[in-house]
Structure formats: structure tokens, C-alpha cells
Amino acid sequence: MTTGLHKHRLTQQAGNPREVAIAELWTRQHAHNDTLRTLFEVPCMDDDPDKTAYHPGWGWSKTPLGEPTERDRIVAASIIQWTMTGCGMSLVNEALEANGYRIVRKDDE
């Protein structure tokens, strides 16, 4: 399992239950589907148009990003974890509110 840079925050004792929950969900999802690898395989429209690669889902397309490195995985896990911090939740909440949604706790419904 690849964790983010701040794995010390991923204990119940650290008092960051949202971060723990998102890190566990991200890890479970990767047990069945490598999301980061899938994202990296999406064709890059800014690549050299003469370079093509075959992708089973899309056929011949422009060069995909290639295999994610361990650093890529750590950065992705760190960003996923950050979305559940106070700062990250503020950004997510602002984006949702801009589109007519809001986050509410279950016990506040």
C-alpha cells in the first residue's frame, strides 16, 4: 500500500477520522482497480501527434502518460488524504457549493 507523505496522521489516535477514512477507501479501491494507472493511460492531447499507442478501450490514440512511478503514487495518495483535512474539505465544499451541493453530517439531516 502506498500512503501519502503524512501517514503519521492516519491513526485513530491522531484525531483525523476523515483522513483515515479516505486513505482506507483509496487503498481498498486499489486492491481491485489501479485508478492512478487508469488515469495515466488516458491519451494526452498535448503529446506529439505523430506518436501513437494502442489502448484496448480507445484503440489507437496519442501517447498515454505511461506507468505511474512510486513518487506519482505517493503524490496522489497525499492529495487524496489532503482533501479530507480542514483546508482540503474547505476547497471541496466550495467547489460543491458553486454547483448547488453541500456537505452535511448525517446526524444534521
Domain ranges of the chain: 7-108
Per residue in 11-59, pLDDT (tens digit) is 777 778 888 888 888 888 876 667 777 777 665 555 555 555 555 665 5
pTM of full prediction above 0.75:
no
Cβ contacts of residue 79 below 8 Å, gap of 6+?
4
CB atoms within 10 A of CB 13: 5
Taken in order 93, 96, 100, 105, the sign of the CA dihedral is negative
Question: In this predicted model, what pLDDT tens digit does every residue of 55-90 receive, in sequence order?
Answer: 566 555 554 666 788 888 888 889 999 999 989 999
